[in-house]
Structure 1
Amino acid sequence: MIMHGGRHASPSHYLFKMDSFSFLSKALADDFISDTFVAGGYRWQLIIYLRGDWIKAKTNYISVQLELLNTSSLQIGWKVNVIFNFFLFNQLKEKYFSLQDGSVKQFHEMKTKWGIKNFIDLNTFSDPLNGYLIDDSCVFGAEIFVVEKTFKGDHLSLMKNYDTLYHTWKIEKFSTLLEEYYESESFGFYKWNVGLYPNGYGAGKGNSISLILGMSGSSVPQDTKLLATFTVGIKDQLYGKHIKQTGQSIHKPSKKICYNLMALEKLKNPKHGFLVDDTLIIEAEVKLVGVVTKWST
């Protein structure tokens, strides 16, 4: 066994000092069982096998084991995920050394104990030059960290059958629009809408016409987002050369997708057919692909 690391701070949850190791190893039939201690909201005990392991096999190693207690008070089907470590104090270096694992072990009804059979071989342990057993005295320790039994994530449910929503927004007297922002009537179950900045938004402010695709927050359940493909655009009323922007997004009420679709100079030029008789026609197409909800266990 190779002891890794080494630190001056003592283990957080349990320490056991033996002042007469040779006597205890002869007097105890098989093992030493510690007092009960609490860590992570659960009750535990440390078991030290001084002359073998927990299957009663005689070995040249000291074995250690951690046991979860009072399991009868836990709910049916209980599981406790734990990261734990066992320590030995090196009295020469004045540091605690351990076997660094870091993997998560699961305690459950059929497995209430976890341990290390070959924690340290007796020859290494007994040699005072190694610092673990000096004047027949040694110190063992344990740290236990309970890993949360829940996790959170997202669950994407794809739609088996989905309809494409179409919406046309006809805006007359475009030149008279003085407000910064206008919004279309809502459409579809989730109340989608198209927003218009007649004089541009963000980088397009003052030089472009900007469109936004959004939806009403009241139409979407809390912690729900929608995966949708969409198209928003301005209709060319003379030549059919419509200006469109397509995309895909995981959408939620607070999210607005903005596009600076066209320069105002081009929009207002009657040769292009986007603004006819001071009327602008905006078209939107939305296809709901899936619903994203919060997932936890």
Structure 2
Amino acid sequence: MMEHKQSPVSFDQSNLMDNLPSIGDDNEVTLETRNFSPAHLLFKIESFSLLSENGIDKIESSEFESNDNYKWKLIIYPNGRNTVDGANHVSAYLAVENVSNLEAGWEFNAVVSIFLFNHKLDKYVFKKGQRRFHIINLEWGFSKFIKKETLMDPRNGYLVNDTCVFGAEVFVVKNKRIRECLSILKATNSYKHELEVSKFSELENEWYSEEFNAGDHKWKVSVYPKAKGNGAQPGIQASIFLHKVGFSSGKKIKAHFSICMKNKYGKASSKRLANHWFSASSSSYGWPSCILVADIIDPYKGFSVEDHCIIEVEISIQAVLRGLP
């Protein structure tokens, strides 16, 4: 008798294993034996030899349930699944059932095992592999599960009193992965927007603009007349920041943008340029030391006209990273 073990079976340890399923169906399939029975399905077939006589080429088990409430059935082809396989082998497959009850775009991985009981070994011989299932790939199994002559010969221990016992186990791998899609956009699409800051000299704290649209996204600008952030000089420099408004969790936006202050002569202060990935945890980016307050209020430089300032923002959306359901 063969010793029970969970590692792949060596074919030359027993002639009872000879010509059982070839591993050619899948490179990641293993052939093993064990003492305890399958957890999800036992499928006993009586009068197996009469299947061919009665023209029965396909038999299906009742629906059974694996973990996470997925539904399955075992399908046996006593004369092989198709003409390529030929009538020399028995084919065995597992199929996902009740797919109409699964959510749109469903997909999962599962560890699949199909069993055949050997009375002489008093063990279950089984093939096991892992497979990705989805709407266009509902079945997986083995076209050459066992040679028909091996199964039919009672001396091999698989068929006793013209009766054999198949089995199945399916363990769905719980999926905790993140699904994302990165969309790259044309760099030529840019959006300019002008914002007016009223009564600049009277600002004590930060000033926020109204929301504006750029690239189907909402933004706003903040100005800190007394400066804010590391390296800033309060009262000497003004800070300017760009904010992305209304972020959903897991979404990121890559933007190239510039901010400057325009004077009444149509000229701009030194333009600040940046590239930044905006997200829920990093929804703003800017410059704590953007422009000297003295330059803003200097009437000869023209940045403040009747205590009103104009800020110009130009934004180009380069990429969008979003989560998928």
TM-score normalised per structure 1: 0.58
Residue 169, structure 1, aligned to residue 197, structure 2 = yes
Q: Match of 1:284?
A: 312
- Note closer, same or farther for the CA distance 1:13–1:215 as it changes in structure 2 (3 Å cut): same
Q: Match of 2:26?
A: none
Q: Residue 98 of structure 1: which of 127, 152, 172 is its match?
A: 127
Q: Match of 1:35?
A: 62
Amino acid at match of 1:246: L
Q: Match of 1:184?
A: 209
Q: Match of 1:210?
A: 239
Residue 117, structure 1, aligned to residue 155, structure 2 = no
Quote the offset at 1:13 in angstroms: 3.5
Give me the whole-angstrom Cα distance separating, in 1, the residues matched to 2:115 and 2:218. 65
- Note closer, same or farther for the CA distance 1:70–1:223 as it changes in structure 2 (3 Å cut): closer
Contact kept? 2:73, 2:95, Cα under 8 Å: yes
Flag structure 1 segments of 5+ consecutive residues without an equivalent: none
1:226-279 Cα offsets, whole Å, 9 max, x none, are 7754311356899x68332223557679822232234xxx836x6xx4552697
Q: Match of 2:274?
A: 247
- Note closer, same or farther for the CA distance 1:100–1:126 as it changes in structure 2 (3 Å cut): farther
Residue 243 of structure 1 aligns to a residue whose secondary structure is coil
Q: How does 1:5-154 map to 2 (within 5 A)?
A: 13-16=40-43, 24-29=47-52, 30=56, 32-38=59-65, 44-50=72-78, 52-55=79-82, 59-66=87-94, 85-88=112-115, 97-104=126-133, 106=135, 115-121=141-147, 133=158, 139-143=166-170, 145=172
1:21-59 Cα offsets, whole Å, 9 max, x none, are xx7442433555323324576754322234x21347754
Amino acid at match of 1:28: L
Give me the whole-angstrom Cα distance separating, in 1, the residues matched to 2:196 and 2:165. 82
- Percent of counterpart pairs with the same letter? 21
Quote the offset at 1:87 in angstroms: 2.0
- Decide which moves more: 85-94 or 60-69: 85-94
Q: How does 1:209-288 map to 2 (within 5 A)?
A: 209-214=238-243, 217=246, 229-234=256-261, 242-248=269-275, 255-262=283-290, 267=292, 273-276=295-298, 281=309, 283-287=311-315
Contact kept? 1:11, 1:143, Cα under 8 Å: no
- Note closer, same or farther for the CA distance 1:127–1:245 as it changes in structure 2 (3 Å cut): farther
Quote the offset at 1:285 in angstroms: 1.9
Give me the whole-angstrom Cα distance separating, in 2, the residues matched to 1:288 and 1:134. 71
Quote the offset at 1:119 in angstroms: 1.9
Contact kept? 1:4, 1:98, Cα under 8 Å: yes
Aligned residues: 270
- Note closer, same or farther for the CA distance 1:106–1:198 as it changes in structure 2 (3 Å cut): same
Give me the whole-angstrom Cα distance separating, in 2, the residues matched to 1:5 and 1:206. 72
- Note closer, same or farther for the CA distance 1:285–1:114 as it changes in structure 2 (3 Å cut): same
- Note closer, same or farther for the CA distance 1:81–1:165 as it changes in structure 2 (3 Å cut): closer
